[in-house]
Structure 1
Amino acid sequence: MSADEHPTQPLPDPSATWILQTDASAPAPRRHRRWPWLVAVLAVAALAVGAWFAGEYIARGIVERTIREQVVQQLDLPADQQIDVDIPGQVLPQLISGRFDQLTISSADVPFGQLSGDVVVHASGVPVRGDAPVDSASAQVTLDQSQLQALLSTVDGFPASTVSLAEPHVEVAMDLQLFALTVPIGVGLTPSASAGQLVLTPDTLKAGDAEVSAEALVDQFGAVARTVVRDWDVCVAQYLPAGITLSGVRVAGQTVVADFDVDGAIVTDAALQQNGTCA
């Protein structure tokens, strides 16, 4: 067989553009990268949340500052009076709704004329603009021994300088005179509220170290004993707005705690904002 019948074929040129590439050398199909979009969405969400909390922080600061200023102005308190304001929950939604769900205002040593005490006010359904009644409100005033003495010193004939506190009583010391005989009497008074007044009622009587009954004291000292065996009425309305009424009193440890009902209309009714009077 001759070479002419079977000519030798040249080797393929590797550089030729028409040569097919193997599967191994073929480029991978392009994949769409989605994660940058996810990052962008999360970033925008984070900015939105941050803006909300920044707005919440600013709104809360403005609201609390405004409430403090109004309390100082309306109650004629010293400009540096420390007043704590607590508004549970988010402030912005409540501002939008026009009412605060809950509001607590507290301050220590709040002056009431010549008196003072620690005050806590709780309110619910408080109109943001102050143009409608509050749904409900109550207040609590706490007096220590010296503050109670200051209050009781306004009562004629009451031995306020001898007052001490021993739960559940307000204790005082009195002297009973029978001719040349002077008998020191210790009296344990139970505080209560009646018709908006503080009432102190004798509960225990001691002559020296011995307990005596009211009847025995009257039998021995007659009408003189009535200065001891009697209720003491203490008007507190003159120190408070007319829309605030004393509803309960108790001795707790070394303090006297007084509870008050607050008329929700006190926000809008000027008459209820004026100090009450004693009958």
Structure 2
Amino acid sequence: MTGLSEAQTVPHRGGGRRATLVIVVVVVAIAVIGLALWLADGLVRGMAQDGVEDALESKLPDTVDADLEVSIGGGFFLPQLIAGTFNDVTVAARDAEVGGIPFDIVVTAHGVPLDENGTIDETTAVVTGGEDAANALLALGGADPQLSLGDGTLSYDQSSSFLGFAVGYTLVTEPTAHGDSVSLTPVDVRVATDVGNLDLTAFVNNLLGNEPVTVCVASSLPEGISVDDIDVTPEELTLTLSATDMPRNGPDLDSRGSCDAS
């Protein structure tokens, strides 16, 4: 008669439960740490944005009235802070005024250093305003005619008296941006007098050699700012501006650029 087989060792499951518990604890701890870092990142980002808003508003000239909104993007804030450079910073001023002229502006900067003496890699600004803002930026010399906005066009209207006759002209142009200037291609030129109206479009184009009129806009903008695009509707004018290697503290708002004499 054979004896009973030796008792087999039954594996305990306590070790497996403990391993599972450890994994759960680690996962929860990582989640808590991640949440804490996310909250801290958001808190520090918010404080930084508020600080930038206050600093920028304190530097605005007396002629500028604007409430600024600053947004720091480019991923997590803390790694950018440690690296000393912010990937993307957006500054928006809506319903702002310069010398009583209303306008909106949104500025997006890429590569913004913490170093006060550093420069911003690239900056783009979109400025939107009505006819008052357009007249402040795009002004012909001399008689200072009144500018009107159209569907893709800018119109200059001016009137005067000649030998007792009232004479006025309307110059309708299509604008194109060229960095430091805006070219105005005549599409309709009319002269109105007490005795009748004249269509001088063909005459003016021949007189100009079918070349557009160039208006310097650099003299109305801080030095180093160029005009990349211009869009016109009957309600507003939108200018897209840009700059490279701009000082971190922003351009000198009291300075003005100049146009190439050629």
| TM-score, normalization by structure 2 | 0.72
Q: Give runs of aligned pairs for residues 141-156 of structure 1, distance below 5 A.
A: 141-149=127-135, 151=137, 156=142
Q: Which has the higher strand share?
A: 2
SS of equivalent residue, structure 2 residue 134: helix
Alignment of 1:41 onto 2:15 = no
Equivalent of residue 171 in structure 1, options 155, 160, 170: 155
* Greater displacement, 195-204 / 100-109: 195-204
Alignment-derived partner of residue 87 in structure 1:
73
TM-aligned CA distance change 1:211 to 1:103, over 3 Å: farther
1:31-180 equivalences under 5 Å are: 31-32=13-14, 33-34=17-18, 35-76=20-61, 81-149=67-135, 151=137, 156-160=142-146, 163-175=147-159, 179=163
How many Å separate the matches in 2 of 1:177 and 1:80?
41
Match of 1:261 among 234, 242, 246: 242
RMSD between aligned alpha carbons? 4.1
The C-alpha deviation readout for 1:247-276, integer Å capped at 9, x for no partner, is 4433245321222232414226x9x52522
CA shift, 1:51, in A, is 0.9
SS of residue paired to 1:41: helix
Alpha-carbon offset, residue 214 of structure 1: 3.5
Residue correspondences, number: 243
Structure 1 residue 127: Cα displacement: 0.7
Amino acid of the residue matched to residue 276 of structure 1?
A: S
Aligned counterparts of 1:83 and 1:255: Cα–Cα separation in 2: 22
Q: Deviations over 1:205-254 (max 9, x none)?
A: 2467x8823354799xxxxx99xxx947355534x432323344332453
Q: Residues of 2 paired with 1:278 and 1:37: CA distance?
A: 66
Percent sequence identity over matched residues? Answer: 21
Q: 4+ residue runs of structure 1 moved beyond 6 angstroms?
A: 77-80
Displacement of 1:67 in angstroms is 1.9
- Could you tell me which runs of 5 or more consecutive residues in structure 2 were left unpaired when the two chains were aligned: 1-6
Range that drifts further, 192-201 or 61-70: 192-201
C-alpha separation between the residues in 1 aligned to 2:157 and 2:186? 12
Once the 2 structures are TM-superposed, how far is the Cα of residue 134 of structure 1 from its aligned partner? 1.5
Once the two structures are superposed, the pairs formed by residues 146-225 of structure 1 within 5 Å of their partners are 146-149=132-135, 151=137, 156-160=142-146, 163-175=147-159, 179=163, 181-182=165-166, 184-193=168-177, 196-198=180-182, 200-206=184-190, 212-216=199-203
Opposite residue 266 of structure 1, the aligned amino acid is: P
Distance change >3 Å, CA 129–CA 249, structure 1 → 2: same
Larger helix share, 1 or 2: 1
Query: In 2, distance between residues paired with 1:63 and 1:232?
Result: 43
Q: Which has more radius of gyration?
A: 1
Structure 1: 5+ residue runs without aligned partners?
1-22, 220-224
Please state whether the residue corresponding to 1:134 is helix, strand or coil: strand
Supply the AA of the counterpart residue of 2:174. T
